[in-house]
């Protein structure tokens, strides 16, 4: 990878070695954004099944009841919660609010994310 | 020396202009409390006179000795060996990232210095222009009526640019130090020209809030805070302009 700025240096975005908490926030936001975009595409494909008639749609619904898909749904919820809460921190910072407390805000918001994700996991997997 | 010397394995990035880089390894007995720059100077003096690196002041003032030490940006002249490795440990030394390598640990910072100049960066400013609480020494506040000057914190070392993930992929990115300079100059003397240097997609809005610049800055500049403060100023100005009567808009233009 070249030392000077190059568009194809982007894999370095995901390398947290020797970096601080801020980079973890940056990486989390990128990964969750990519995950949510992928989900949106899959969602559109699923909706496309509606146009193929009732049987195709029912078959698709049976497939997504599989526990693996449930785990996928939980990942989507996790990505949404993390991206949303982290995004609020970044938006507030962009208005000059809480910039010098961004580290503690990040830790607090990620703690909230864990609680929310655990709540959804419990709801989804305990109710069968 | 406070204790027995440490054996440290130095792994140094070597590259001659345009040639393939390689890592030079050598083990050195060092005082753990000596600075990395001292060890590099000894390597140059006693082992390999072809090693190139930048240094001048040896006390964190000139900004010349920035390099990556075990992956993290440091001023080699104020970083002790003890703070980054252990007895028998490795010490990897690389040039700063996001600048072209001229030779070994020397990078070309020409563009960066030109951008700093364009922002009107000056190393001395009135104390009253200080923005952050720790920039105003108590004694100056007590003598508020006196006009005093202070040295501006940025030493143009480029560590913040090396650590920034946005600078990694965008050649045109103005970069944390220059944006911080623009914020500081704007706070003293607001001008449309300064806004134009910062308010574009490779300026203020390229920053993706990794805060690495502030983390590695050895001089307390807090470039991330300054970028966000400048964003606030630009956003406030944009919102105000919606409510500004058109006639006044023309006058301001
Ligand atoms: S802002 Fe800090 S890290 Fe960046 S060039 Fe100035 S002193 Fe160095
Ligand atoms: S030699 Fe001047 S800052 Fe390190």
Confidence band of A59 (pLDDT split at 50, 70, 90): confident
Q: Is the CB of B64 under 6 A from ligand 1?
A: no
Q: Which of A1-5, B41-45, B134-138 has the lowest mean pLDDT?
A: B134-138
pLDDT of residue B249: 57
pLDDT of residue A8: 92
CA nearest B135: which of B120, B146, B122, B149?
B149
pLDDT of residue B234: 93
Is the pLDDT reported for residue B135 higher than 80? no
* Minimal-distance CA residue of chain B relative to A14: B165
CA nearest B164: which of B203, B100, B209, B102?
B209
Q: What is the mean pLDDT of residues A111-123?
A: 95
Is the pLDDT reported for residue B245 higher than 80? no
Residue A83 · residue A111 · CB < 8 Å: no
Tokens of A31: 């990964």
**pLDDT of B185-231, one tens digit each?**
999 899 999 999 999 999 999 999 999 999 999 999 999 999 999 99
Residue B92 · residue B24 · CB < 8 Å: no
Tokens of B246: 């058109």
H or E element that contains B101: strand B101-103
- Estimate to the nearest angstrom the gap between the alpha carbon of B84 and the chain centroid: 19
CA nearest B154: which of B198, B190, B206, B115?
B115
Is the pLDDT reported for residue B160 higher than 60? yes
Dihedral angle at the C-alpha atoms of B61, B67, B73, B78, nearest 10 degrees? -40
Nearest-Cα distance to chain B for A20, in Å, is: 7
Nearest-Cα distance to chain A for B71, in Å, is: 6
CB pairs under 8 A between A and B: 89
**pLDDT of B104-128, one tens digit each?**
999 999 999 999 999 999 888 887 7
Is the pLDDT reported for residue A69 higher than 90? no
Tell me, yes or no, if B211 comes closer than 8 A to chain A by beta carbon: yes
User: Rounded to whole angstroms, how far apart are CA atoms A61 and A55?
Assistant: 10
Which residue reads 């308010």 in tokens? B199
Dihedral of alpha carbons A60, A61, A66, A69, sign: positive
ipTM: 0.86
Tell me, yes or no, if B173 comes closer than 8 A to chain A by beta carbon: yes
Residue A13 has, within 13 A of its CA and on its CB side, a CA count of: 22
Strands B6-14 and B90-94: parallel
CATH topology of domain B110-252: Fumarate Reductase Iron-sulfur Protein; Chain B, domain 2 (1.10.1060)
User: Rounded to whole angstroms, how far apart are CA atoms B78 and B37?
Assistant: 8
pLDDT of residue B248: 62
Which numeric CATH code is attached to B6-107? 3.10.20.30
Is the pLDDT reported for residue B252 higher than 60? no
- On chain B, the residues whose CB falls within 8 A of the CB of A10 are 168-169
pLDDT of residue B137: 64
pLDDT of residue B220: 92
Tell me, yes or no, if A49 comes closer than 8 A to chain B by beta carbon: no
Tokens of B217: 């800055």
Nearest-Cα distance to chain A for B152, in Å, is: 20
State whether A96 and B232 contact (CB < 8 Å).
yes
Q: Which residues contact B91 (CB under 8 A, 6 or more apart)?
A: B8, B9, B10, B11, B36, B39, B69, B70, B81, B84, B85
Residue B214 · residue B224 · CB < 8 Å: yes
Higher pLDDT, A119 or B19: A119
Q: What is the mean pLDDT of residues B150-171?
A: 94
Tokens of B6: 């440490």
Domains in chain A (CATH in brackets) are 21-126 (1.20.1300.10)
Q: Where in chain B is the domain with CATH 1.10.1060.10?
A: 110-252
pTM across the whole model: 0.89
φ/ψ bin of A53: left (φ > 0), alpha (ψ from -120 to 50), beta (otherwise):
left
**pLDDT of B27-75, one tens digit each?**
999 999 999 999 999 999 999 999 999 999 999 999 999 999 999 999 9
Q: Where in chain B is the domain with CATH 3.10.20.30?
A: 6-107
- On chain B, the residues whose CB falls within 8 A of the CB of A8 are 169
pLDDT of residue B56: 97
Q: What is the largest CA-CA distance in chain B?
A: 76
pLDDT of residue B247: 64
Is the pLDDT reported for residue B251 higher than 70? no
Q: Which residues contact B122 (CB under 8 A, 6 or more apart)?
A: B152, B185
**CA gyration radius, chain B:** 21
| Mean pLDDT of the residues in chain B | 91
From the list A5, A95, A103, which residue is nearest B170 (CB)? A5
């Amino acid at each position: 990878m070249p030392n000077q700025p190059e568009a194809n240096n982007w894999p370095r975005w995901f390398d947290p070695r020797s970096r601080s908490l801020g980079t973890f926030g940056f990486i989390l936001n990128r990964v969750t954004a990519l995950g949510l975009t992928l989900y949106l595409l899959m969602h559109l494909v699923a909706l496309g099944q509606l146009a193929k008639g009732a049987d195709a749609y029912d078959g698709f619904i049976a497939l997504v009841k599989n526990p693996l898909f449930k785990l996928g749904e939980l990942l989507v919820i996790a990505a949404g919660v993390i991206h949303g809460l982290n995004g609020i921190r970044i938006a507030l910072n962009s208005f000059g609010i809480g910039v010098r407390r961004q580290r503690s805000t990040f830790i607090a918001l990620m703690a909230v994310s864990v609680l929310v994700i655990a709540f959804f996991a419990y709801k989804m997997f305990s109710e069968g | 020396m406070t204790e027995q010397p440490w054996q440290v394995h130095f792994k140094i990035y070597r590259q001659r202009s345009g040639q393939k880089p390689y890592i030079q390894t050598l083990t050195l007995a060092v005082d753990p409390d000596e600075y990395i720059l001292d060890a590099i100077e000894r390597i140059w003096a006693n082992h390999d006179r072809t090693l190139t690196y930048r240094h001048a002041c040896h006390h964190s003032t000139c900004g010349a000795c920035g390099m990556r030490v075990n992956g993290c940006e440091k001023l080699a002249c104020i970083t002790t060996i003890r703070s980054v490795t252990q007895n028998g440990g490795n010490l990897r030394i690389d040039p700063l990232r996001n600048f072209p390598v001229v030779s070994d640990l020397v990078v070309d910072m020409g563009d960066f210095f030109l951008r700093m100049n364009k922002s009107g960066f000056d190393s001395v400013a009135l104390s009253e222009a200080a923005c952050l609480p720790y920039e105003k020494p108590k004694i100056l506040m007590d003598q508020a009526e006196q006009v005093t000057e202070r040295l501006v914190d940025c030493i143009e070392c480029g560590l913040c640019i090396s650590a920034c993930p946005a600078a990694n992929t965008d050649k045109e990115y103005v970069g944390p130090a220059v944006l911080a300079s623009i914020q500081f100059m704007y706070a003293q003397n607001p001008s449309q020209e300064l806004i134009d240097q910062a308010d574009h997609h490779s300026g203020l809005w390229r920053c993706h809030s990794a805060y690495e610049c502030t983390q590695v800055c050895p001089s307390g500049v807090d470039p991330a805070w300054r970028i966000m403060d400048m964003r606030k100023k630009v956003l406030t100005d944009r919102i105000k302009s919606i409510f500004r009567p058109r006639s006044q808009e023309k006058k301001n233009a």
